[in-house]
Amino acid sequence: MTRKEQKEERRKNILMNALRLFVERGYYDTRISDIAEAAQMSTGLMFHYFESKEELLTELVRMGAEGTKAAGREMGDIPPDVYLTEFLRRMFSFAKEQPWVFNMFVLMGQVRRAGMPEEARKAAEAVDTVERTAKLIEQGQKSGVFHKGDALIMSRCFWASVQGIMEEMAMDKEMKAPEPEWIVAMLKAGSGDED
Amino acid sequence: MTRKEQKEERRKNILMNALRLFVERGYYDTRISDIAEAAQMSTGLMFHYFESKEELLTELVRMGAEGTKAAGREMGDIPPDVYLTEFLRRMFSFAKEQPWVFNMFVLMGQVRRAGMPEEARKAAEAVDTVERTAKLIEQGQKSGVFHKGDALIMSRCFWASVQGIMEEMAMDKEMKAPEPEWIVAMLKAGSGDED
DNA sequence: AAATTTATTGAATACAAATTCAATAAAACT
DNA sequence: AGTTTTATTGAATTTGTATTCAATAAATTT
């Protein structure tokens, strides 16, 4: 293994430990020394790999933002409701196998909301899932599978729900995932108000 | 105004400013001096009213836990779906008038999840809304208005969604509230899976 | 194999912010 | 009016922890 590869390995290892600890204990309650210990190195060495604790966080958020770009890609001829349902199903099952996905959701949520360094927040804003889903919802409204209403608000509520549920699942890894249909039902025609 | 009343006033004022700042900037990024400034007093005086920053937080969380007890009280003969819908409608409209309600939601969420002092987390756990709503859901399942499934999981998802949405609204005070029906649709029979 | 670059450590430093404190003013009480 | 209690301040202290640093080891290059 070349020097460069080794460094990459090490960085990845640090990042994964940091992610877990940031979510388990919170960013501010996680000491650089905790991360160092988890990654089996001295505190000082951390600064050989990352300039600062904040850079560590920002790097994680960048990864998270990158990851969400997968959402809402080519959907071929599938109807929007089926697409969203299927997307959620895959996301839940993927996350069950890769628990860091839950952690990433939690971290992104925390960062977007408040109480995190400025730079990290900026990195988290480079995510347009809500906008893209709103377009999908508009299509569904035209075809009648989704009820009427401001598509952007509907999309925000949809993702806020998903966010909340992912966070709940992140807290309790034993928790059974909901049926994706339940969540998509929020958008469907015939679900109460029909204005 | 008696001395005691004055003290209570002052404490309440401090608490409300702390709540706002904790949510706007996050607990750890809020300095005692920031709260002092907002409440128009010297930093030192804060410690006359509260033993520590942590006690301030814990007190807020206790208030929040107290507040949620309102949820799920006497529902008379109203069907569970109507009850929940109505409950959410009132909550949203109440929160629009009293923005601190949003902040309280966000704070409670942050505290329950992670990265907050131990004691505050404990205070936040004294909330059994999820369990009480699960009972309501079971009733609805018997009468057929709600679909089948583990009522506790359904309740957790329901509240996780509400939490997520309240947080979204807290971030953007301009955001229009969703129709409560959308959220209750998560639970309703005929919403996709019918196992 | 000498020289240079990279990895690693643990202790020293710097710093920010919570908390304490001594002193003063105001109020309440006798 | 004098005494005690409460309110208030701003500066001094303490503390916790991120970051730097000087020194050493290991690897890579020449």
Q: pLDDT tens digits, residue range A141-167?
A: 999 999 999 999 999 999 999 999 999
Chain B partners of A109 at a C-beta cutoff of 8 Å? 167
Confirm or reject contact between A151 and chain B (CB < 8 A): no
- Strand C: which bases are under 7 Å from protein Cβ? 6-11, 17-22, 27-28
Residues near B94 by beta carbon (within 8 Å), at least 6 away in sequence: B101
Structure token digits, residue A154: 């509907």
Q: How many CB pairs below 8 A link A and B?
A: 152
Mutate to test the interface with A, among B105, B186, B187 (most CBs of A within 10 A): B186
Range 51-70, chain B: CB under 7 Å to any strand C atom:
51-54
**In terms of Cα–Cα distance, which of A131, A11, A95 is closest to A60?**
A11
The answer to which of A187-191, B97-101, B167-171 has the lowest mean pLDDT is A187-191
Confirm or reject contact between B19 and chain A (CB < 8 A): no
The position carrying tokens 């229009």 is B176
Give the tens place of pLDDT for each residue, B145-159. 999 999 999 999 999
pLDDT of B125 strictly over 90: no
Confirm or reject contact between B161 and chain A (CB < 8 A): yes
Cβ atoms B133, B155 nearer than 8 A = yes
Which residues, given as ranges, of chain A have pLDDT below 70? 70-74, 115, 191-195
Q: Do A165 and B165 touch (CB under 8 A)?
A: no
Average pLDDT over residues B1-15: 91
**In terms of Cα–Cα distance, which of B191, B132, B192, B175 is closest to B156?**
B132
DSSP per-residue string spanning B127-162: --HHHHHHHHHHHHHHHTSB--S-HHHHHHHHHHHH
Average pLDDT over residues B97-109: 92
Average pLDDT over residues B177-185: 96
Question: What's residue A2's pLDDT?
Answer: 80
pTM, two decimals, is 0.90
Structure token digits, residue B73: 């009280």
Question: What's residue B74's pLDDT?
Answer: 67
Chain A partners of B163 at a C-beta cutoff of 8 Å? 164, 167
Question: What's residue A191's pLDDT?
Answer: 56
Chain B partners of A190 at a C-beta cutoff of 8 Å? 190
Q: Do A157 and B168 touch (CB under 8 A)?
A: yes
Cβ atoms B95, B156 nearer than 8 A = no
Question: What's residue B4's pLDDT?
Answer: 86
Confirm or reject contact between A13 and chain B (CB < 8 A): no
Long-range contacts of B144-148 (CB under 8 A, 24+ apart): B144/B189, B145/B79, B145/B80, B145/B81, B145/B188, B145/B189, B146/B80, B146/B81, B146/B187, B146/B188, B146/B189, B147/A182, B147/B187, B147/B188, B147/B189, B147/B190, B147/B191, B147/B193, B147/B194, B148/B194, B148/B195
Question: What's residue A55's pLDDT?
Answer: 96
Cβ atoms A71, A121 nearer than 8 A = no
Structure token digits, residue B12: 């309440």
Question: What residue ranges define each of the domains in chain A, with the CATH number in brackets?
Answer: 1-51 (1.10.10.60), 53-195 (1.10.357.10)
Question: What's residue B54's pLDDT?
Answer: 96
Chain A partners of B165 at a C-beta cutoff of 8 Å? 157, 160-161, 164
Angle at B66 between CA B68 and CA B169, to 5 degrees: 45
**B43: Cβ under 7 Å from strand C?**
yes
- Closest-CA distance, A170 to chain B, in angstroms, reads 9
Question: What's residue B116's pLDDT?
Answer: 80
Q: Do B190 and A190 touch (CB under 8 A)?
A: yes
